[in-house]
Structure formats: structure tokens, C-alpha cells
């Protein structure tokens, strides 16, 4: 190895909120940056400070010290302070793929206001890394990643024949995404505090440096060594210049450089030879399983559910429908949409979204979630209302009310949708009849009569108006076009008799469901003829862990909660059972399950309401699959991830919980079971001989854990909660079934708005964007950040290539493929209303469509 260069990078790892509330951490942040700016002015040899690779600490500081902005900009311009690239240092697994992209998009945008952003994929303390992160980084022109978790340290004592993943990794290796995108990765094997508090006294410095250099060289593959001079919330080491002078005198053969992370990565890349390669997600899979912090997936699940709602509102509704309305002349309010995103991203730092902070932190998060969701919901409604103004509803029959139904998915779907309509407050509505957009009578039923409801309008041109209306809901089976809408007209009619079924079985052409004696479900998939037995077994167990880790007590006890049918409800379109159960152990736990099978559905939907008055326990729903499989398929960030069901032989933790987004599936060549969820990210495939899927519904604990004693009574979750999930049996292997589309339809239901009767330039029913084949997944539809055009992002989660066809009802003047930063790459051929391109396996594609303007 040639002459060593030691890169000393001054930094602080800034957890915005954690064991103290945000404002108390900010008080320390303000003092830190005040002192840093003074130090940069006073000490010209203090070359650089790394502000943790995220922008939000700087925003938080300038909110208190706006007059310091010029000093900050001067430090950035001089190359002495790094800004960006992230907006926050997020947990990658607990947020959507799109939210990971927006984190970089907003971070780089904010950083450019101060100067040139840092081009380092800094992911210091994330609790593992998603498979597609190298592709995401490359999509923003970043060719490297720096992190401290996810893989094992290199262990040279193991035999040379040991598989590389088990033997561990050195400090530098190549990390490859499933699509082939690769980045140079720097693994901080000695953590991001290995250069903290460098001594200035010679003897102490000699001993300190000798130990640190030996630790670095143990894992380094190049003579470029990294010392991270800082740690969690550490103030700047003000005498570092003096310490470096001492180090240079003690070790004249070594170059000590007060460096930046960008300089270090560039030097390491230039010096690197042939490196180890790792592919896919990095979750410490080859450890004993005790240090993964994986059960943050289920800490304070109400936060994860709120996050799912906010992401849904922004990604599936506010942005796409605002963009589509903009094409028809409406305003696209970038500022408000950006505000909603920033509020949401402020809840994505790992200590925040992971639910592993003090109670005050998570109470403030709930307010941010509520603000983001409420405003995004309003933007969604306004966009749908603008679109509705253009839809031809003139076929409305006398006495009927028009309703528009919107589909946020780029796939055609058939399902029952509940639509509401308002009539005069004295109207009699014993039943309903429904007509489609052409005025043809269609099947429907009265779902619910809400009686007289009070409401108000806020017109743009006059004072507010109040009203009282009789509100009814109609269930309508319908086929909805991809990312489109359909018009229906609802009218009162005389009641029709319907015989309520009275049995412990439900069935349609796809599934039959039987209620077993213990309250579990036996579901038969009629194509394969296979019956999945004992599904939705609610199991409670004690938890001796904390917000980071589930830990069974030494004498573990579990209870299977017996459910009994209390009532049932049925219409010609679906049937629902209401099941109740309870148990008591150091507090009471009550549950109510509503199990629904739609007439035309391939799913069994479950809504479980929980009344928790217990502490220190975990409630899960179990689904034995009895499928012989070695792998599970998981909906991940821009990926369908195949994970081994059995961990490697060195895994000693009895638990092996894992993250998911919309669903997890276990299948073989003849059958499978997909379990979809709404904001419940923790699952486990039990090693019980039945490959039972376990879905965590609630985890209640009483302390943060980690480095101190921090009680968290709110984390006991002693309140009422609602969880929703769906059982989706299928014939054949997952890849050849419609289970992926069924799971997405469960996750993102249609939405409805009332409409007026008028002619329009849009037909009564239509698609606003189609994307084929339906294995491709639409991730974003938005207005471009920089130009008057539309951005469409989709991805291919499969291991096979696809010939994509994207079609829209408006004329495309130009089409470009862009990177994730929305910078143009290649111009594409346009066929008036469509674009075609080949999509590689696992590829994320971003297109810019420029509309033709008349």
C-alpha cells in the first residue's frame, strides 16, 4: 500500500428529534452552527465541516437566525461547509420509493440555493438500505454511497471458502442495484465517530492515532483512510487544527488532511482496485439477528399508518390529478404541493418515522401528518372538481344526481365502489337505481342512508353558504379505466326485497370462506382447489423489549384470541361478518374483526378494530400458508424483493421480522397466498413448518432503549386503533397471478365526488393515462419542477424486460427520458398520443411529456 492519506472529516450527526423534543435539539443546533461560523471566520486552517448530508438542520437553524444566511452562503461558496444532498436522513424502508426520491429532489433543490450540493450518497445511520438505492443515487448523478449499517465487517479469520456475504465486507466495495446500477460504497466499519475528539497532547495523540489507524487499515482497500471527527449531536472540535499539527509531527510519513467527504470519496475511488460486490438490499442479513433494530417497523404503528395515508394522498391523488387538471387549464400549485411534501419529509428521519423517540417527538409528528394529509386532500378534491367541470354529464336522468368515480392506478379494475349522493332533506330514499354515463341502468344497491346532513360551501365569489341534504350511499359494481374516471347517476326508487344469508360461509366465483369453530377463516381458492386453513388467528404475546427491538421474555407466553361471530351484514354485492374477541393479561385487550367478501372480488378484506389497555405486548394476525417455499416475495421500493424465508445459519434471534410496503406473498408453482396491508410494514414468515405469515397489528412498549433510560408511556399504545389488511389467495406462482394488481387495488381504492349536470369536452368515462403491460407500476405523475410539462415515473419490478406503451388522450408534442432529477437525457419518438420504449428488468423510468399547446 502506497503512502497513506488520512482524511479527517469534521461533522456532527444531527438527529433532528430523538431522546429530546425537536426544539431542545434545535437549541443545541443553533449554538453549534453559531460556534461553527465563528470558528470558520477565526481559523483559516479549519478547512471544512460536513453538515450531515441533509438540508433540514440548516433550514431549522436559519428559521431562528435568518440574518446568518449570508455567512452560511459564504461558507458554502468557499467550499468550507457542505450542503445536501438529502432533505432529511430518512429511514429507507418505512417510506415509499417515491418518498426516497423526493427526499433527494427537495434536498438538492434546497442545497442549490446556497451553492453546489454535496454529491455523496450519505446514509450514515439508516437501519439498512433498500435494494434500489444505487439506482436512485445514480438517477441524481451521485455515483457513491457512504453508510454505517447493513453489512458485516470483514472477518479475515474465517476460511477462504466462506461465502463473501457471510465473511463480511471491507470499507470499500461496489453496491449494485437489481437493474445493474452500481455505486462505490464506503462502509464506515468503525462507525462515524472513529475520529471523534482527537487529542492535542502528543502522548495521548500518539496512542489514540495508532489505535485509530490500525482499525482503519484492518478494513481499508486503499491508502485513503477516513476518520469521522464527530458523532451524534457533537459540537465542533474547535482545537482540531492544533490536533492535526501534532499528528503531522508524530507521523511524518502520513499525510493528514482536514478533508471533506466529497474529497475523500473522490480519492478512494481513484485509488480503488478490484472491489467486492454486493447486490440488493442491505439489512445485516448475515449477523446473529440481534442488532438489526428491525422492530422499529412496528413501534407506534399509528405513525406508519398516518405516513401511508399522507403518501397515498400526495402520490396517488394530489399530484397526479392536479397535473391532469393543469392540462385542462387549471393552476398547478407547486408551492402548496411542495409544502405538503416538506411536512411529510420532516417526519421521515429514522428516529421519527421509526417511532423510537420520546413521546413529545411523536406527538408533534402527528400534527405534521395531519397538516400534510389535510391540505393534500383539499388539493386532490379541487383537482377532481376541475376535471369534473370538463366531463359530459348531460345524460343524467330526471331526478338523479351525477357522481364521478376516479381510479388512481394505471390498471383497469373491476370492483364495487360506494358512492354518496345528496338529495332534498325531505326526500324519501327507500332504495336507489343507478345509471352509467350513457344513461343505461346498471346494477346497484342502497348501501347506507345517513339521514339529513348539514354542510357548507365556500364559493370563490361570495359569502359562505350552508345547506342541509339527505345523504345516501349506493354500492355500484363497476369497471374503471386506468388512471381515469367514470360517471354514474344515482336516483331514489322503491325498495326491493333481499334475503339476508344466514350461514358461516361466504362464496363467489373465485373464493369460498368458512368460519371455523375457533373464529379463524378457511379460505378456498376455487381455481387451484386449495384451502388455506386457520387464517387470521389473532395471537398476543408479551414483549420485554423497547422501541427498537421486540424481545420475548424468558418465560414466553402467547394467547390465541378466540373470535366469535356477533352479526353479519349483506347486500347483493358483498357480505360481511362481525367477529368479537378479547383476552386479559396485565390489562385488557378487545378486538372486533369485520371480514368482507365482495361478489366479484378475489380478496377477503379484514378490518380489525383494537381496544388496547395492556402494556408490553405484541398482537399479530397469523396466516398459515402450508406452501412449500424457500422465498417470500415482498413489495418494496421500486422492486419486488425475493427474501429467503430461513435466515442464514448464524442467525440466533428467534424472531426474523422484515419490512414490506403493500404486500408479502408466499407461493409455489401451483398456489400462493398474498397478504396486503394498509400501513402495517412489519411481517414475518414463521419457521413453524407451515410458512405462516405473521402480520404485526400492535406492539406496545414503555421505553426508547439504546443508550439511556427514557420512559415512553405513549408507546404502550393504550387506546383504540383500526388496522386493515386483505387475504389474497391465488392459483399458480405469484408472477403468473393477478395478486400484485389485487393488492394494489386494495391499497389504493377509488375516490368519488359529486358533480353537476352539464355538457363537457371529456366523455362520461375515460382513461387519462394508460400504461401497459400491467406488470409495470406507475410511481409518479406530476408537473415538471423546471418546465411546463408532465413528469411520469414508472418501474418494472420484474426480472424480465417489458415493452412499455404509455398513452394519453392529449397530443404529445415532445417526449424525453430524464433522470430522477428531471434533467433531460434522450428524446423519444412520439406517436401523437403515445410513447413506446423497452424497459429493462428492475428499471426505474422517468419520462417528460410536453403537451401540444393550441
* Residues sharing a CB contact under 8 Å with residue 321, sequence separation 6 or more, in sequence order: 380, 383, 384, 387, 406, 408
Strand, helix or coil for residue 208: helix
Owner of C-alpha cell 428488468: 841
**From CA 133, how far away is CA 50, in angstroms rounded?**
22
What separation, in Å, do the N-terminal and C-terminal C-alpha atoms of the chain show? 66
Contact (CB, 8 A) for 17 and 269: no
Count of CB atoms within 10 A of residue 453's CB?
A: 13
Beta bridge partners of 812: 851
Element (H, E) at 329: none
How far apart, in whole angstroms, are the C-alpha atoms of residue 552 and residue 574? 40
- Cell numbers for 850: 410536453
Indicate the DSSP class of residue 250.
H
Torsion of CA 697, 700, 706, 712, to 10 degrees: 130
Q: How far apart are CA 326 and CA 495, in angstroms?
A: 43
Contacts of 441 (CB under 8 A, 6+ apart): 433, 434, 435
**Residue 438 is placed in which grid cell?**
350513457
> Is residue 275 a contact partner of residue 172, using CB atoms and an 8 Å limit?
yes
DSSP helix/strand/coil, 11: strand
Between the CA of residue 205 and those of 98, 209, 406, what are the distances in Å? Answer: 46, 6, 67
User: How many residues are listed for the chain in this entry?
Assistant: 854
Catalytic residue, candidates 15, 91, 103, 125: 125
Tell me how far apart the alpha carbons of residues 647 and 649 are, in angstroms, rounded to a whole number: 7
788 noted as active-site residue: no
How large is the C-alpha radius of gyration of the chain?
A: 29
Cα–Cα distance between 104 and 819 in angstroms, integer? 12
CA–CA gap between residue 725 and residue 231 (Å, rounded): 40
| CA of residue 372 relative to chain centroid, distance | 15
Q: How many CB atoms lie within 10 A of CB 697?
A: 25
Active site residues: 125
Amino acid at each position: 500500500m502506497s503512502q497513506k492519506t488520512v482524511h479527517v472529516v469534521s461533522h456532527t450527526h444531527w438527529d433532528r428529534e430523538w431522546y429530546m423534543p425537536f426544539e431542545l435539539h434545535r437549541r443545541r443546533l443553533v449554538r453549534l452552527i453559531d460556534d461553527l461560523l465563528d470558528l470558520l471566520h477565526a481559523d483559516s486552517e479549519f478547512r471544512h465541516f460536513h453538515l450531515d448530508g441533509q438540508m433540514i438542520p440548516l433550514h431549522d437553524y436559519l428559521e431562528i437566525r435568518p440574518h446568518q444566511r449570508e455567512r452560511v452562503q459564504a461558507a458554502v461558496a468557499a467550499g468550507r461547509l457542505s450542503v445536501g444532498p438529502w432533505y432529511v436522513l430518512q429511514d429507507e424502508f418505512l417510506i415509499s420509493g417515491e418518498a426516497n426520491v423526493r427526499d433527494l429532489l427537495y434536498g438538492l433543490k434546497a442545497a442549490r440555493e446556497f451553492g453546489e450540493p454535496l454529491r455523496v450518497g450519505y446514509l450514515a445511520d439508516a437501519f439498512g438500505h433498500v435494494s434500489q438505492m444505487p439506482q436512485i443515487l445514480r438517477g441524481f448523478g451521485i455515483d457513491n454511497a457512504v453508510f454505517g449499517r447493513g453489512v458485516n465487517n470483514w472477518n479475515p479469520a474465517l476460511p477462504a471458502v466462506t461465502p463473501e456475504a457471510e465473511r463480511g465486507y471491507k470499507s470499500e466495495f461496489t453496491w449494485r442495484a437489481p437493474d445493474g446500477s452500481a455505486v462505490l460504497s464506503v462502509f464506515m466499519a468503525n462507525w462515524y465517530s472513529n475520529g471523534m475528539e482527537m487529542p492535542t497532547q502528543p502522548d495521548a495523540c500518539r496512542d489514540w492515532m495508532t489505535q485509530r489507524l490500525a482499525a482503519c487499515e484492518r478494513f481499508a482497500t486503499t491508502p485513503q483512510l477516513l476518520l469521522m471527527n464527530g458523532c451524534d449531536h457533537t459540537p465542533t472540535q474547535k482545537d482540531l487544527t492544533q490536533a492535526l499539527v501534532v499528528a503531522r509531527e508524530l507521523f511524518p510519513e502520513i499525510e493528514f488532511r482536514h478533508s471533506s467527504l466529497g474529497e475523500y470519496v473522490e480519492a478512494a475511488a481513484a485509488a480503488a482496485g478490484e472491489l467486492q460486490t454486493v447486490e440488493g438490499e442491505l439489512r445485516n442479513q448475515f449477523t446473529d439477528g440481534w442488532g438489526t433494530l428491525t422492530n422499529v417497523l412496528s413501534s407506534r404503528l399509528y405513525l406508519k399508518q398516518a405516513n401511508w395515508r399522507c403518501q397515498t394522498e400526495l402520490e396517488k391523488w394530489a399530484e397526479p390529478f392536479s397535473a391532469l387538471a393543469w392540462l385542462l387549464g387549471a393552476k398547478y400549485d407547486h408551492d402548496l404541493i411542495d409544502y405538503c411534501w416538506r411536512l411529510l419529509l420532516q417526519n421521515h428521519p429514522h428516529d421519527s418515522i421509526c417511532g423510537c423517540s420520546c413521546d413529545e417527538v411523536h406527538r408533534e409528528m402527528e400534527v405534521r401528518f395531519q397538516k400534510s394529509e389535510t391540505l393534500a386532500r383539499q388539493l386532490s378534491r379541487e383537482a377532481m372538481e376541475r376535471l369534473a367541470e370538463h366531463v359530459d354529464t348531460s345524460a343524467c336522468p330526471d331526478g338523479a344526481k351525477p357522481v364521478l368515480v376516479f381510479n388512481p392506478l394505471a390498471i383497469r379494475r373491476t370492483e364495487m365502489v360506494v358512492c354518496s349522493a345528496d338529495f332534498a332533506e325531505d326526500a324519501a330514499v327507500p332504495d336507489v337505481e343507478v345509471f352509467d354515463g350513457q344513461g343505461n341502468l346498471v346494477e346497484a344497491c342502497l348501501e347506507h342512508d345517513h339521514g339529513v346532513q348539514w354542510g357548507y360551501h365556500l364559493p370563490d365569489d361570495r359569502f359562505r353558504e350552508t345547506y342541509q341534504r339527505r345523504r345516501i350511499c349506493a354500492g355500484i359494481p363497476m369497471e374503471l379505466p386506468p388512471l381515469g374516471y367514470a360517471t354514474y347517476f344515482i336516483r331514489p326508487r322503491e325498495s326491493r326485497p333481499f334475503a339476508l344469508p344466514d350461514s358461516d360461509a361466504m362464496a363467489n366465483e373465485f373464493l369460498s370462506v368458512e368460519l371455523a369453530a375457533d373464529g379463524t377463516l378457511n379460505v378456498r381458492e376455487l381455481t387451484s382447489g386449495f384451502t388455506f386453513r386457520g387464517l387470521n388467528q389473532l395471537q398476543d404475546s408479551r414483549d420485554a423489549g423497547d422501541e427498537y427491538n421486540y424481545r420475548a421474555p424468558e418465560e414466553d407466553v402467547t394467547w390465541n384470541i378466540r373470535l366469535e361471530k356477533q352479526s353479519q351484514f349483506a347486500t347483493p354485492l358483498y357480505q360481511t361478518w362481525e367477529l368479537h374477541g378479547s383476552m386479559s393479561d396485565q390489562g385488557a385487550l378487545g378486538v372486533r374483526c369485520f371480514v368482507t367478501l365482495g361478489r366479484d372480488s378475489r380478496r377477503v378484506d379484514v378490518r380489525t378494530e383494537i381496544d388496547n389497555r395492556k402494556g408490553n405486548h405484541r398482537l399479530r394476525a397469523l396466516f398459515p400458508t402450508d406452501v412449500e417455499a424457500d422465498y417470500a416475495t415482498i413489495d418494496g421500493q421500486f422492486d419486488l424483493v425475493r427474501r429467503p424465508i430461513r435466515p442464514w445459519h448464524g442467525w440466533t434471534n428467534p424472531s426474523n421480522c422484515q419490512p414490506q410496503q403493500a404486500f408479502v406473498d408466499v407461493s409455489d408453482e401451483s398456489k400462493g397466498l398474498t397478504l396486503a396491508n394498509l400501513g402495517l410494514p412489519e411481517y414475518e414468515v414463521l419457521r413453524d413448518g407451515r410458512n405462516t405469515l405473521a402480520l404485526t397489528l400492535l406492539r406496545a412498549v414503555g421505553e426508547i432503549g439504546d443508550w439511556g433510560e427514557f420512559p415512553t408511556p405513549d408507546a404502550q399504545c393504550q387506546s383504540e386503533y383500526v388496522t386493515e389488511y386483505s387475504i389474497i389467495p391465488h392459483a399458480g406462482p405469484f408472477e403468473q397471478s393477478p395478486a400484485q394488481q389485487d393488492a394494489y387495488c386494495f391499497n389504493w381504492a377509488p375516490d368519488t365526488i359529486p358533480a353537476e349536470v352539464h355538457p363537457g369536452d371529456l366523455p362520461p368515462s375515460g382513461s387519462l393515462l394508460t400504461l401497459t403491460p400491467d406488470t409495470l407500476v406507475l410511481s409518479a405523475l406530476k408537473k415538471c419542477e423546471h418546465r411546463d410539462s408532465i413528469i411520469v415515473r414508472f418501474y418494472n419490478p420484474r426480472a424480465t424486460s417489458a415493452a412499455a406503451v404509455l398513452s394519453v388522450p392529449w397530443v404529445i408534442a415532445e417526449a424525453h427520458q430524464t433522470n430522477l432529477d428531471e434533467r433531460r437525457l434522450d428524446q423519444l419518438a412520439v406517436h401523437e398520443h403515445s410513447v413506446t420504449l423497452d424497459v429493462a428488468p428492475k428499471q426505474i423510468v422517468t419520462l417528460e411529456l410536453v403537451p401540444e399547446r393550441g
